[in-house]
Amino acid sequence: MTTVHTLRIDGADVAASDGQSILAVATENGIDIPTMCHLDGLSDTASCRLCLVEVAGSNKLTPACTTLVTEGMDITTTSEQLTEYRRTITEMLFLERNHICAICVANNHCELQDLAEKLQIDHFELPVINPSVGIDASHPLFAIDHNRCIMCQRCVRVCAEIEGAFTWGVMGSGIAERVVTDMGTPWGESPTCTSCGKCVQVCPTGALFENGRSIAEGSKAQRPFLPFLKRLGEGLEQT
């Protein structure tokens, strides 16, 4: 039997099942919390820090995607401080690499662009880094432009958790961190990649894209396979 918790989010009383995350409960109740590394159907890593919320009684901010609800929690999802943090994080996601929306394959289909718009970011206050970052276009169907990668690692998780190929991994640390295929093997020479394209579909920006797509043509039309598979795995679709 499922235990039901009662808690408060932004002053409203809500009910939640045991084992649900704050993010899941907030979403169920129509409360929007910004996310980037989270994607329904994949495990959560709390790496982007955009979904941080305030929990009464705690002196530190809490990631909503990986924190499970408890009885009597009092959660604040929107405050001046949280908004400022989210704006700064988003700005840093842009500035760490080279994002130029106007000539990006994902223009108008980009979650980072949408987030910036939602947070009303129209200029950057932090210095621009403009690192020299490469492109791997060796795969016949797909390419990765590291200039646009925000290290959400959705590609790493979907490849491992859904496709089971474990092609994608992470190399380096800090600002030198990169997602790589097969320990740094060029993607086109990868012995494990099944060319399924799931990594392209889950990428929130234009970092992963189909070869031959021009500007603004990188929509993620095939993404619905994810929640279906996840729910199937949990037995929720087997009724």
At residue 145, what are phi and psi to the nearest 5 degrees?
-110, 105
Min dist. Cβ of residue 51 to another protein (A): 32
Closest to another protein by CB, 19 or 186: 186
Closest to another protein by CB, 12 or 129: 129
CA dihedral 183, 189, 193, 199 (to 10 degrees): 80
What order of strands is seen across the sheet that includes strand 142-145? 135-136, 142-145, 208-210
Six-digit token string for 190? 């990868």
Q: How far apart are the first and last CA of the chain?
A: 18
Min dist. Cβ of residue 138 to another protein (A): 5
Alpha-carbon distance 119 to 83, whole Å?
Answer: 8
Min dist. Cβ of residue 143 to another protein (A): 6
Alpha-carbon distance 120 to 98, whole Å?
Answer: 19
Closest to another protein by CB, 62 or 107: 107
- Residue 4 β-bridge partners: 17
Q: How many CB atoms lie within 10 A of CB 156?
A: 21
Closest to another protein by CB, 61 or 141: 141
Min dist. Cβ of residue 168 to another protein (A): 19
Instruction: Say which residue the tokens 């106007």 belong to.
Output: 102
Min dist. Cβ of residue 117 to another protein (A): 17
Alpha-carbon distance 16 to 29, whole Å?
Answer: 10
Min dist. Cβ of residue 187 to another protein (A): 10
Closest to another protein by CB, 188 or 227: 188
At residue 180, what are phi and psi to the nearest 5 degrees?
-135, 160
Instruction: Say which residue the tokens 């979650």 belong to.
Output: 111
Closest to another protein by CB, 2 or 214: 214
Binding residues for another protein, rule: CB under 8 A, are 102-103, 105, 107, 134-135, 137-138, 140, 143, 145, 188, 211-217
